[in-house]
Chain A
């Protein structure tokens, strides 16, 4: 009675995860620039 996830779905999930990580990284960069902690 276990739920089976097709292999293709796992692949899609992996892509979504990567996109989420990239977005997070990008957002962090924006926040850093906004708070002006970069020395210029």
Chain B
């Protein structure tokens, strides 16, 4: 009787140990959960003047390395002056955010269709400087309507020289200041209240950006070549296709050396994707791209 009891006790102890291990495993084991897919940011670069094909990849690399985004950078082919070919635009079909730095392109309809599809999707868009005049089709061309891409996508004037869209000379620079009413906007987190930009100020007033845009930064021209007025240099907006928009008329490569410009750009990517802006700034990026101007 005692022997049986001993065996039973051992069995019971063994059972308890096994149950304990089971329970411990159940509480400590984490079933593999499906990680949400990292957002994809597609950069589209092609400008003759400002080296966007060099600055955008540096921003993209930072977003991938330190902020957990997937990125694709598309460039004019074979160089920045090539106006009629940006290979790979079909990547926009998978994009969660499209960032444009374009200038006077003349893309063929089979490439434009990807941009058109993207805009119609209502997914967010971001634009730098010359993207206000991203396209330059001659009068009567079947794609002439794309000359107003900036107006449609970002709320800029509908092309260079349109609605008074001009600048204040290549020997001028811009004093940039945060608009007080917008100082708490997430995109401006950590951005200096005032900084100096190498970009010559773009005139977009009086009709742009649209009245329902939120102006974040204002610019004052320094050493202008004509009578100058203050102009918005960065704003957010919701365009007519329902997309969240961030646009800045800054984009001179030296602007990207400014920490304020860097933070604003990284913040804007997060804000456009409905993500909280980074609590911790991962540090200033080493962006040293010289201004090239127009080189044939």
Interface residues, chain A, CB within 8 Å of chain B? 30, 33-34, 36-40
User: Which B positions have Cβ atoms within 8 angstroms of A?
Assistant: 48-49, 81, 83, 103-104, 130, 133, 136, 138, 160, 167, 170, 293-294
Identify which of B81, B83, B103, B138 contacts A40 (C-beta below 8 A). Answer: B103
CB-based contact B294/A36 at 8 Å: yes
CB-based nearest B residue for A35: B296
Closest chain A residue to B130 by CB distance? A40
A39 touches which one: B49, B136, B138 (CB < 8 A)? B49
Can you list 7 pairs linking A and B with CB atoms under 8 Å apart? Answer: A30-B138, A34-B138, A36-B48, A36-B83, A39-B49, A40-B103, A40-B133
Residues in B neighbouring A30, C-beta threshold 8 A: 138
Of A30, A33, A36, chain B has the most CB atoms within 10 Å of the CB of A36
Bound complex: CA of A21 vs CA of B138, how far in Å?
21
B49 touches A40 (CB 8 A): yes
> Measured between C-beta atoms, what is the minimum distance from B52 to chain A in Å?
13
B268 to chain A, nearest CB (A): 22
Complex interface: chain B residues within 8 A of A37 (CB):
294
Quick one: which of A33, A34, A38, A40 has the most chain B CB within 10 A? A40
- Bound CA–CA A34/B294 (angstroms): 14
Chain A residue nearest in CB terms to B133: A40
Chain B nearest CB from A11 CB (Å) reads 32
Chain B residue contacts of A36, Cβ below 8 A: 48, 81, 83, 103-104, 136, 294
**In the complex, which residues of chain A have a beta carbon less than 8 angstroms from the beta carbon of B133?**
40
* Distance A37 CA – B104 CA, assembled complex (angstroms): 11
Q: In the complex, which residue of chain A has the Cβ closest to the Cβ of B166? A: A40
Would A39 and B170 be within 8 Å (CB), given that A30-B138, A33-B136, A34-B138 are in contact? yes
Is A39 a contact of B293 with CB atoms below 8 Å? yes
Q: Which residue of A lies closest to B160 (CB)?
A: A40
